[in-house]
Amino acid sequence: MSLRAAVLRHIRLPVQTLPAIGSRPQSQLSFLRLFSSHDDHLTKEEVIDRVLDVVKSFPKVEPSQVTPDVHFQKDLGLDSLDNVEIVMALEEEFKLEIPDKEADKIDSCNLAIEYIYNHPMAG
């Protein structure tokens, strides 16, 4: 009986000291939110960088002329088929599938960056 009480006393001790130590890990983890997907979107700089990289690595394009608001057909001198090809390259880079109606509207770097930034599935 006394042994049991002694053992129980020993077991109870760690529970009492927990609140003193336990509060710190919780406050550190409170802004980690491991299962939240709200912080998952790409930042605008990242989108701009990756879009410009895709456009610059297009073989018919001069890398020095590429700016974030360049127009594919007017400024870079590409034709409509090249436009579609650039949109397909962007689809591959960001793992998206852009429907045809939207893809036809994407005519310049601006529109591409906007569309990708606003797309929830951009990866």
Catalytic residues: 79
Residues in contact with other proteins by CB under 8 A are 57-59, 80-82, 84-85, 88-89, 91-92, 97, 100, 103-104
If the CB atoms of residues 82 and 114 are measured against other proteins, the closer one turns out to be 82
The residues, ordered by sequence, that sit 6+ positions from 39 with a Cβ below 8 Å of its Cβ are: 33
CB of 83 to other proteins, least distance (A): 9
Q: 66: left (phi > 0), else alpha (psi -120 to 50), else beta?
A: beta
Tell me, what DSSP letter sits at residue 38?
G
- Taking the least distance from each CB to other proteins, the nearer of 39 and 97 is 97
Least Cβ distance, residue 98 to other proteins (angstroms): 9
3-class DSSP assignment, residue 41: coil
Of 39 and 92, CB closest to other proteins? 92
CA distance 102 to 11: 65
CB of 80 to other proteins, least distance (A): 8
